[in-house]
């Protein structure tokens, strides 16, 4: 009898769950979903690779390739804070389901071009 | 919070524990850490009315330490844990698991030397 | 009449246990004479990673010690580093850490109440408890970005601020949550069947609880007023804090303490929202930690100790965690001696075991 009120509520109210594939999953502005990389700003300084707690990021300086393993990434957001060039950001959607061989590893080709320094006048 | 650690000899461990017990203290934790000049530090922390008191003994690896289970029955979890992770032998534990409290695949995993940092190595740039 | 002694293994896989712990129960007929625990099924050696990581990055690892008390682990670790380096964090950060700490206490207690109802076979109560927990988790996610792993604590303060508008919104939403919790707690504390399963089961006298070093709701359910929140860490000094104790010294007492702490946490959150000062939420940190520090705070399950030692480099040299479940194990062993075999699952659950925490 102690639960009667709660039980009656279940009949008169809508279900509290969401029908996930039909309705989108709930998310908030602050939700840490996945990390987005902007290849045009990265200078290959490798700070994100050195400080990543789960070693998900690798930067190949010679071939200009920035790689993230979505399965290793714990989405702590540490790299976003550390990046001095603001080329990393967080989006509040989760990355899609994948198999490790398929899409777990995302590779980006760094397109950053070092701006030429104004030549010193001789 | 009290950070002052009193260094005591191994022979005084049981006496100190009994004294603490008589004064109405509670065993908070036994911490085992590698000591600065080799060997290991075992720190006994006691608490009474939310004030902490620490005692420390410094021991070479794999040596024998008298157990304080006589005064604090709850100490067996810490002593077995230290035995399983570091390989110290405690004499007179109330429940002695003989190394099966924490079953690790590597015997005494924390006894080893401090390893090198395992950060991702930066690949050397090809000379081009 | 005494029968032959038999040893019955309990766990590591058991329907009431979300995590693996093994107990060897020595039984005589249906009575448990002795219980011998053994752990180590999920030992990860997380503490030894500390000398390979930058101290400010280790916060992310420290909060992954446990999935439920994760916020308290990160705040205790940060508190230790700050104590070592003599950093004074801004008042607003202090209050925000307390706020999230109390939210995680509500979420942990509701989780436990749900699991407990489930272990007793009361499924609809379990769903109701977790339904309320979901609204707490929503607040967490909206303010920190993570449902269970918050990742907002950093050395020198917190990463995110909560706007005052949002704080007052949280205050309003708490009213509905509190009403729902009242309904829920009424069942836990008064239901005939539930009371039959907990009253007088798992006896632990106050003197035993103190001598065996029990902490948190296990100690408070036995009438020992032991709560680290009475010391002046974070904002508890300004808020004024009195621990909740129950003196029935059994499973019901432990359940009662957790139920009442839900409302205590709600009160604390309300006080925080009205009293929170304006200002920055973090300070810049320079230098490296040197020396040793015992940092402690109150988790939902009891007192946690982080021992930190640095040598002036960016990597700490030593890090040891004593979690509340480990120190509640001797108390559990003493509770199990003399109980009925059929009551073992409930008694194990009343200490709120968190094995992930216990083994790091």
Note the pLDDT of residue B1: 59
Whether residue C229 contacts residue C241, with contact meaning beta carbons closer than 8 Å, is answered with yes
Residues B24-43 have pLDDT tens digits of 888 888 888 777 777 788 88
Q: How far is C196 from chain A (nearest CA, A)?
A: 15
Q: What is the mean pLDDT of residues A4-20?
A: 81
Which residue stretches of chain A are H helix? 4-12, 47-51, 78-82
Structure tokens at B97: 């698991």
**C199-248 per-position pLDDT tens digit:** 878 788 888 888 888 888 888 888 888 888 888 778 787 887 888 888 88
Closest CA to B63 of B47, B50, B82, B43: B82
Given the DSSP bridges, would you call strands B64-66 and B89-91 parallel, antiparallel or unpaired? parallel
* Helix C91-119 with C70-85: angle, nearest 10 deg: 150
DSSP-assigned states of every residue in C10-69: E-SS-TT-SS--EEEEEEETTEEEEEEEEB-SS---GGGGGGGSBTTTHHHHHTTS-SSS
Residues of C in contact with A51 (CB under 8 A): 54, 57
Which of C9, C46, C56, C213 to probe the B interface (max B CBs under 10 A)? C213
Phi, psi of C163 (to 5 degrees): -70, 155
Q: How confident is the model at residue A108 (pLDDT cuts 50, 70, 90)?
A: confident
- For residue B104, give how far its alpha carbon lies from the nearest alpha carbon of chain C (Å): 7
- For the record, the structure tokens of C76 come out as 């205790």
Cβ proximity of B77 and B26 under 8 Å = no
The residue among C304, C354, C306 whose CA lies nearest residue C329 is C354
B2: buried, middle or exposed (CB in 10 Å: 19+, 13-18, 0-12)?
Answer: exposed
Which of B3, B74, B97 is facing C292, going by the closest CB pair?
A: B3
When scoring B74, B80, B83 by the number of chain C Cβ atoms within 10 A, the one with the most, hence best to mutate, is: B74
Residue C139 vs residue C52, higher pLDDT: C139
Q: Kindly provide the ipTM of the predicted complex, given to two decimals.
A: 0.76
Q: Report the alpha-carbon angle C78-C80-C86, nearest 5.
A: 95
Extract the tokens encoding C313: 């480099």
According to CATH, what is the number of the domain B5-91?
A: 3.30.460.80
For C216, the 3-state DSSP assignment is: helix
Q: Tell me the DSSP string of C98-152.
A: HHHHHHHHHHHHHHHHHHHHHHTT-HHHHHHHHHHHHHHHHHHHHHHS-SS----
Q: What are phi and psi of B62, to 5 degrees?
A: 60, 20
For the residues C291-298, what does the mean pLDDT come to?
84
What proportion of chain B, given as a percentage, has pLDDT over 90? 0
Q: Which residue has the tokens 């040893």?
A: C7
DSSP A95: P
Question: What average pLDDT does range C106-121 have in this prediction?
Answer: 87
Separation of alpha carbons B46 and C295, rounded Å: 14
State the count of interchain CB pairs (< 8 A) between A and C: 54
The three-class DSSP label of residue C340 is: strand
The CA distance from C134 to A104, in Å, is 29
Instruction: List CB contacts of A11: < 8 A, sequence separation 6 or more.
Output: none
**Domain regions of chain C by residue span:** 43-323
Mean pLDDT of chain C: 83
Tokens of B8: 């005591």
Classify domain C43-323 at the CATH topology level: Cytochrome-c3 Hydrogenase; chain B (1.10.645)
Residues of C in contact with B5 (CB under 8 A): 292
For residue C244, the number of C-alpha atoms closer than 13 Å in the C-beta half-sphere is: 17
What is the mean pLDDT of the segment spanning C109-117? 89
Best mutation target among A43, A47, A49, A57 (most B Cβ atoms within 10 Å) is: A49
**Cα dist from B120 to A51, A64, C266, whole Å:** 9, 17, 44
pLDDT higher at B12 or C304: C304
Beta bridge partners of C34: C26
pTM of the model: 0.85
Q: Is B75 helix (H, G, I), strand (E, B) or coil?
A: helix
Contact B125 A50 (CB under 8 A): no
How confident is the model at residue C162, as a pLDDT?
84
- Residues C30, A53: Cα–Cα separation, whole Å: 50
Collapsing DSSP to helix, strand or coil, A67 comes out as strand
pLDDT > 90 fraction of chain C, expressed in percent and rounded: 0
Chain C CB contacts of B114 under 8 Å are 51, 317
Query: In this model, does residue C336 exceed pLDDT 80?
Result: yes
As a whole number, mean pLDDT of residues A37-66 equals 82
Query: What pairing do the DSSP bridges indicate for beta strands A105-109 and C153-154?
Result: unpaired
pLDDT beyond 80 at A104: no
Taking only residues 62 to 121 of chain B, the set having a beta carbon closer than 8 angstroms to any beta carbon of chain A reads 119-120
pLDDT value at residue C2:
59
- For residue B127, what pLDDT band results from cuts at 50, 70 and 90? very low
All chains having 3 or more CB pairs closer than 8 angstroms to chain A:
B, C
d(CA C246, CA C76): 27
Over the stretch C81-99, which tens digit does the pLDDT of each residue have? 888 888 888 888 888 888 8
Q: Cα–Cα distance between B90 and B39 in angstroms, integer? A: 16
From chain C, pick out residues whose CB is under 8 angstroms from the CB of A73: none
Residue for token digits 């005589």? C28
Domain boundaries, chain B: 5-91
Q: Is the pLDDT of residue C14 over 50?
A: yes
Write the pLDDT tens digit of every residue in A17-34.
Answer: 888 888 877 778 888 888
Judge whether residue C197 has pLDDT over 60.
Answer: yes
Residue scoring higher pLDDT (B62 or C80): C80
**In this complex, do A30 and C128 lie within 8 Å of one another by their Cβ atoms?**
no
CATH assignment, A29-109: 3.30.70.3270
pLDDT of B128 above 50: no
Cβ-Cβ contacts under 8 Å, C294 against chain B: 1, 3, 45, 52, 54
- Contact assignment for B117 to C53 by CB distance below 8 Å: yes
Q: Give Rg (Cα) of chain A.
A: 22
* A58 touching chain B per CB within 8 A: yes
CA–CA gap between residue B120 and residue A56 (Å, rounded): 9
Question: Which of C116 and B116 is assigned the larger pLDDT?
Answer: C116
Q: Is the pLDDT of residue C127 over 70?
A: yes
């Amino acid at each position: 009898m102690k639960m009667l009120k709660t039980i009656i509520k279940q009949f008169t109210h809508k279900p509290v769950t969401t029908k996930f594939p039909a309705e989108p999953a709930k998310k908030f502005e602050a939700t840490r979903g996945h990390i987005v990389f902007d290849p045009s700003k990265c200078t290959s300084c490798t700070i994100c690779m050195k400080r990543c707690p789960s070693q998900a990021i690798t930067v190949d300086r010679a071939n200009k390739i920035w790689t993230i393993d979505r399965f290793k990434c714990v989405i702590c957001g540490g790299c976003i804070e550390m990046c001095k060039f603001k080329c990393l950001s967080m989006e509040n959607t989760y990355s899609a389901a994948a198999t490790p061989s398929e899409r777990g590893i995302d590779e980006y080709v760094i397109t950053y071009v070092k701006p030429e320094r104004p030549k010193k006048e001789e | 919070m009290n950070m002052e650690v009193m260094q005591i000899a191994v022979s005084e461990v049981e006496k100190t524990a009994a004294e603490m017990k008589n004064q109405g203290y509670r065993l908070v934790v036994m911490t085992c850490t590698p000591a600065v000049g080799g060997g290991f530090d075992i720190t006994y922390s006691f608490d009474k009315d939310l004030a902490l008191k620490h005692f420390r003994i410094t021991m070479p690896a794999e040596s024998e330490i008298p157990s304080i289970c006589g005064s604090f029955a709850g100490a067996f979890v810490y002593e077995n844990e230290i035995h399983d992770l570091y390989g110290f032998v405690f004499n007179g534990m109330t429940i002695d698991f003989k190394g099966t409290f924490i079953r690790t695949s590597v015997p005494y995993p924390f006894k080893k030397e401090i390893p090198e940092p395992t950060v991702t190595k930066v690949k050397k740039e090809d000379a081009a | 009449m005494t029968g032959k002694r038999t040893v019955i293994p309990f766990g590591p896989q058991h329907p009431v246990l979300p995590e693996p712990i093994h107990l060897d129960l020595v039984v005589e007929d249906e009575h448990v004479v002795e219980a011998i625990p053994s752990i180590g099924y999920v030992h990860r050696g997380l503490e030894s990673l500390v000398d390979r990581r930058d101290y400010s990055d280790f916060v992310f690892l420290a909060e992954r010690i446990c999935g439920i008390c994760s916020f308290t682990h990160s705040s205790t670790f940060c508190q230790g580093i700050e104590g070592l380096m003599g950093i004074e964090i801004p008042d607003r950060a202090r209050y925000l850490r307390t706020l999230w700490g109390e939210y995680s206490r509500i979420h942990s207690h509701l989780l436990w109440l749900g699991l407990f109802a489930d272990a007793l076979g009361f499924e609809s109560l379990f769903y109701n408890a977790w339904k309320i927990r979901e609204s707490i988790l929503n607040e967490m996610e909206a303010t920190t970005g993570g449902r269970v792993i918050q990742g907002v604590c950093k050395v020198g303060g917190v990463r995110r601020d909560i706007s005052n508008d949002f704080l007052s919104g949280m205050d309003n939403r708490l009213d509905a949550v509190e009403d729902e919790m009242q309904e829920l707690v009424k069942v836990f504390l008064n239901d005939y069947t539930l009371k039959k399963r907990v009253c007088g089961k798992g006896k632990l006298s106050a003197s035993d609880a103190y001598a065996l070093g029990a902490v948190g709701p296990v100690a408070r359910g036995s009438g020992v007023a032991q709560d680290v929140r009475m010391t002046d860490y974070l904002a508890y000094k300004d808020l004024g804090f009195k621990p909740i104790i129950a003196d029935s010294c059994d499973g019901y007492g432990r359940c009662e303490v957790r139920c009442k702490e839900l409302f205590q946490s709600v009160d604390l959150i309300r006080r925080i929202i009205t009293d929170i000062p304006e200002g920055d939420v973090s300070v810049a940190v320079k230098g490296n930690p040197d020396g040793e520090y015992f940092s402690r705070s109150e988790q939902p399950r009891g007192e946690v100790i982080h021992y930190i030692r640095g040598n002036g480099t960016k990597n700490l040299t030593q890090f040891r965690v004593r979690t509340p479940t480990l120190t509640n194990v001797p108390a559990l062993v003493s509770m199990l001696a003399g109980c009925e075999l059929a009551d073992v699952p409930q008694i194990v659950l009343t200490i709120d075991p968190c094995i992930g925490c216990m083994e790091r």
